Every structure is written in structure tokens, then in C-alpha cells.
A and B are shown apart, each in its own frame.
Chain A
Amino acid sequence: MANSTNIAPLSPGQLAFRRALRHGGFWTGGLIILVIVLAAIFAPLLTPYDPALQDLTQRYIPPVWSEKGTWDHILGTDNLGRDYFARVLYGTRISLGIGLLTLLISGTIGVSLGIAAGYWGGWPDLVINFLITIRLTLPVVLVALVVVALIGNSLTLLVLVIGLLLWDRFAIVVRSATQQVASREYITSARAIGSSTPRILFREILPNITGPLIVVASIEIAHAILLEAALSFLGLGVQPPQVSWGLMVAEAKSQLMFRPWMIAIPGAALVLLIFAINLVGDTVRDVTTPEGKA
């Protein structure tokens, strides 16, 4: 005991972070995400080209590693002579932006509903379960299609539609995690010292469900990014002159047989980002469960 006086105790969160640092997946995934985020932020510094600037004299230049490639256009140019590297870089902004913004919406809805259902049980639980079931019966792409057809097409709308559709996993996971935590004696103890309900929900329950919450968040952010790419591919998402990886794939689909790199490059960017997010999510799951392993 005497030795432990000078060692600062670590919170469960700090312990989990320490375990994460020993986890290969965290380093790999975290590094990739860091690079992608930095690339999105500093895109204008990394390329001299405007992603929307057309140059019809420079159409279909292949990437630098092929025989006809040039260092002027590292990843080549597209059918309108726009620099592909610049388009991939600026496309990162759309993907990450949509991922984070929809996460904010879907997370807020899902966590609120899940905590309410898990904590109160009874009829709030029934109503919220009913809402979850209704949400699960809605095909996401179809709903997005109808909304875009009815209201029109904008980035704000896209974020809203995806955000309002992807809260179901949050609600389901948070509900069951809350049920588990709410039955613990420290919640009874919190009530016995007179804690208000908001205090119990936000000070006692929420900190104890962060593990599953982060895991779901990582899944949902990847889900939202993929959905944006899919909707943009279908022409329902991001509209030119804005750039999105899904849009790039859509514009290049006629060249699939002749210039496969035009699809492979934005596709690879998408795969890399999703892979990295999933790796970090897996790490969080590994280090937070079972609780108190350290």
C-alpha cells in the first residue's frame, strides 16, 4: 500500500485507453483515420487543382503508375479533365462531414430513446420499441429516394434523411445497456441519496454505457458514409459540382471496362476509411468489455 501512494490512480476510461494503445488495430485504424482527417482539412494545401476545374485538353489521363501517367496529375484526370487526386481529397470532406453530422443527429435520437426505454421500462419502453420496429421496417434507400423525389436535392436534406433513419442501432444497444446498468445497486444508491432523474441518467448511467455507445457510433458513422456514397451513386445524394466518392464512381461507371482505375480509386478510398473506422470500433469493443478486466 505504501508504494501505491505515489501512483496516480487511473480512471476506467484511462485504463481502457492504455489497453487500446497496446492494441495493433487501434494504431493501424487510428493512423489511417488521422491521415484521412488531416487530408480533408488541408486539402487545398495538398493539391494546386480545383476539384471542379475542367480542362478538356487533359481528359482521361491515367494515374502516374501507368505508362502514360504524369506527375502533374498523380491520380490522373476524369472525363472532363478534372484532377482525380483533388477530387478524392475534396470527396473526403463530404464523406467525413456527412458521417459526423448524421452521427450527431442519429446518436442524439437513438441515445435519448434508448436510455428512456431502458430506464423507465413499462409503457415508454413499449412505445419506443414500437418506434424502433417501425423504423426497422422502412427500407432506408427507398425512403431516401422518395424524400429526395418529393422535396428535392440538397446536402442538408441528405444529412437529415440519413440522420433520421440510422438511429435504430443506437436505440437498441443503448436500451439493453441501460437496462443492465439500471438494475445495478449503485443506481438504487443514487436514488437513495436523492439524485434527480436527469442526474441519474447522465451522471450514473451514461458514463457506464460509453463502451457499447462508441462501438455503435463507429458502426453507424461507417454506415452513414457508405449510404451517402450509395445515394450519390444513384444520383440522389451529393450533386455536381460538389465532389463525393459515390458520385465519382457513378460518373466513371461507363469507363468500367476501359479505365477501371477511375472506379478503383474512389472505391479504394471508401474501403480504406470504412476499414479504419471498423478497426477502431473493434478495438473499443475489445478494451471496454468485459468491464474492469484490468
Chain B
Amino acid sequence: MTSDALIMRGVTRDYPVGTAFGRKQTLRALRGIDLTVGKGRTLGLVGESGCGKSTLAKILLGVEQASSGEVLVEGRPISGYGRLERAGLIQPVFQDPYSSLNPRMTVETLIAAPLAVRGIGDSALRRRRAREMAALVGLPDHLVSSYPSQLSGGQRQRVAIARALIGEPRILICDEPTSALDVSVQSQILNLLHRLKSELDLTMILISHNLAVVHHLADEVAVMYLGQIVESGPSAEVFARPRHPYTEALLKAVLPPRAGVRLPELGLEAEFPSPLRPPSGCAFHPRCRVADGLCAERAPERDGTNHSFRCHHPLGGGDQAAAMTTPETA
């Protein structure tokens, strides 16, 4: 057990939502998440917008509380950590570096803030550490007294990464760290994260809807759909032999960078369902190509051990599927 950095058991998160006519409704953002991340591993969390990925990240950061279920960080419940203790253990890198940095603070202040909050060292020491971190993430030294509005998107994300790592956390949660950046900068930031992860021996949760990124960086993958993890397992395994039809559809949607390739027919005609009114049975059945009557009636249980999935009709996982669905990562 001690080798697991993070364990989630049956985690749910409900939001009370008032409608226009005053009727109280419940938005079930997370519906029973079971997840385990080993120390030093990278978990890729994949799913459409609105499936609950960011809610999951917020719960791990302690910004939101789970409605029920258990979150264990390094063997202890997350609620058992104090505010500063937790901050020293888990740190985020957010999606949008344009809004995740306070525009009124200098780069130096931003990077050193986690130390200042925890009262580590005096201001001279914190400034020196901030400059060291800036160098580590590849920020030119002359930028440390700049303000965020004077930096490019990639530079801002480097600031965010330096700020996340200065307190030497054990777990880094990257919520779509590159989706707001130019393509040319994306790979720089990803390589930086990858390098720092192994240098600092971090456990990383990488939330992304870019499958190529996940394939490149993650040891394990969890695919989310409407607040549930529908498939999870070792990255290579899931990418090569998806068992859940949704995973298969996601993988097919990745376009290889070759001329003449068209968008494939995915069979995902129906809209993404509203989490306020989830479909009966298996949440994915209205859009699923293999669904039948059983799927509309009863939600599938989790199946499989190492590579698990929630589906009544898992795909064969044969060689044919593998040949068809391996994403072409450049």
C-alpha cells in the first residue's frame, strides 16, 4: 500500500443546482471514482469536456471536498492533512497560464509564493530559491522581475511549473497544461514536465484530451465518461487494445498527420449527455455502437483487474482491433 501515492475509493461529488423554476436538482459530477496511482508513476486522465476531470483535480488539490468516498494521499486521508501540509505534498499546473498567474505580482513573487505562504526561509532566501527554480524550468534570469502580462504563454506556463515545484511536492496535477499554448510551445512544456518528473521523482496526474500527449507521457491511462472511469490500465495496453467502445472511438478520432486522411466516422452521433439527467443503465449506451437492451437497463460493473473497464460488451482486444486503433503519435 505504501507504494501508492494516491488512492481514490468510490469518490463522488454532487453539486446542488437550482433550475429556472426553483426546482432543486443534483449534478453528479463524479459517480464513484476508483483510482490508484503508484509512486513516481504518471497517470493520464482522458475524457471529453464536462466529464468531471477538472472536478477530480480540484478534489485532489483540496480546493473542493468529495461528497462521499475516500481519497488517500500517501496512505493518509486527504482531509487529515492541514492546509499547508497538503500544499507541500500536492501542487497543480493549470490549463490557462493567462489566468492562473496573478497579474499584479512579479514572476519572482509568484514563484516564491508557496514558500512565503508556508513561512519557509526569509525573503532573501526565497528570492534565491525562486531564481534557482526559474533557471530549472528554463526561464531567462532577466525575466524574474517581470509581470505576467510581459511574458509569452510558454514562459507563463514555465512560471506556473516553477511555482508548483518550488515547495518540493510529491504529486503534481497537470490540468491540461498545454491546451492553451501554441503547438510549437506545447512540446517544450511537455518535455520540461517529463524531464522534471524524472529528475524530481514526482508522481504526476496528467489531465488531457490530447491522446497523443497522454500516450507520450503517461504510464497508465484512465478514460472518464460522465463522472465515471470507464476504462483504465497501463497506457500501452489501453492504447493497443481498448476494451471499451468509448475508448476505441476516442482513439479513432486521433488523426495521423498524413495527407488525404479524413475524419473517421466515429458513431458518436448523439450529444454528450447532461450530467443532470444521465442516461439509464450504462451512461454511454445512447452513443455506443455495440449497445443493446441490457445496456439501457443496467449499469455495467467494473471488470478486469489490471486493465479494467465498465462494459457489458467489451471489445475483443484481438490483433485486429490493435492494428486499427493504435494512434499515430508523431
Contacts and interface: CB of A to CB of B under 8 A. Distances in A.
A191 B63 contact: yes
Contacts of A204: 102
A291 B103 contact: yes
A276 to B, nearest CB: 28
B230 interface: no
B140 interface: yes
A185 B114 CA distance: 16
Contact of B87 (A1, A12, A186, A192): A192
Contacts of B106: 9, 11
A22 interface: no
B195 interface: no
Nearest to B107: A9
Interface string A1-39: 100110011111100000000000000000000000000
B147 A11 contact: yes
Interface string A150-166: 00000000000000000
B146 interface: yes
A193 interface: yes
Given A185-B94, A186-B99, A192 B150 contact: no
B146 A12 contact: no
Interface string A195-220: 11001000010011000000000000
A192 B63 contact: yes
Contacts of A190: 102, 113
A192 B145 contact: no
Contact of B140 (A1, A10, A193, A195): A1
A184 B94 CA distance: 11
Contacts of B90: 192
Contacts of A192: 61-63, 87, 90-92
A198 to B, nearest CB: 12
A9 B87 contact: no
A199 B117 contact: yes
Interface string B87-99: 1101110111001
Interface string B71-99: 00000000000011011101110111001
A137 interface: no
Contacts of B217: none
B8 to A, nearest CB: 18
B63 A194 contact: no
A11 B108 CA distance: 13
B142 A5 contact: yes
B99 A4 contact: no
A294 B99 CA distance: 17
A188 interface: yes
Contacts of B101: 186, 189
A292 B99 CA distance: 12
A185 B99 contact: yes
B100 interface: yes
Interface string B134-171: 00000010100111011000000000100100010000
B86 A194 contact: yes
B177 to A, nearest CB: 12
Given A12-B147, A193-B87, A193-B91, A208 B113 contact: no
Contacts of A9: 106, 145-147, 150
Contacts of B104: 11-13, 207-208
A186 B167 CA distance: 17
B118 interface: yes
A184 B104 CA distance: 13
Nearest to A188: B63
A194 B146 contact: no
Contacts of A12: 103-104, 147, 149
Nearest to A210: B104
A11 B103 CA distance: 9
B100 A193 contact: no
B100 A194 contact: no
Given A8-B145, A188-B63, A189-B94, A208 B87 contact: no
B167 A193 contact: yes
Nearest to A293: B149
Contacts of A294: 149
Contacts of B142: 1, 4-5
Nearest to B104: A207
Contacts of B87: 192-194
B24 to A, nearest CB: 15
A208 to B, nearest CB: 6
Contacts of B99: 184-186
Given A9-B147, A194-B117, A186 B63 contact: no
Contacts of A193: 87, 91, 113-114, 117, 163, 167
B84 A185 contact: no
Contacts of A196: 83, 117
Given A189-B92, A191-B63, 8 more contacts: A1-B140, A9-B145, A185-B99, A188-B94, A192-B61, A193-B117, A193-B163, A204-B102
26 contacts: A1-B140, A9-B146, A10-B147, A11-B106, A12-B104, A12-B149, A13-B104, A184-B99, A185-B95, A185-B99, A186-B99, A188-B61, A189-B163, A190-B102, A191-B61, A191-B62, A191-B63, A192-B63, A192-B87, A192-B91, A193-B117, A193-B167, A194-B83, A194-B117, A207-B104, A208-B103
The 3 residue pairs across chains A and B that have the minimum distance between CB atoms? A194-B87, A185-B100, A207-B104
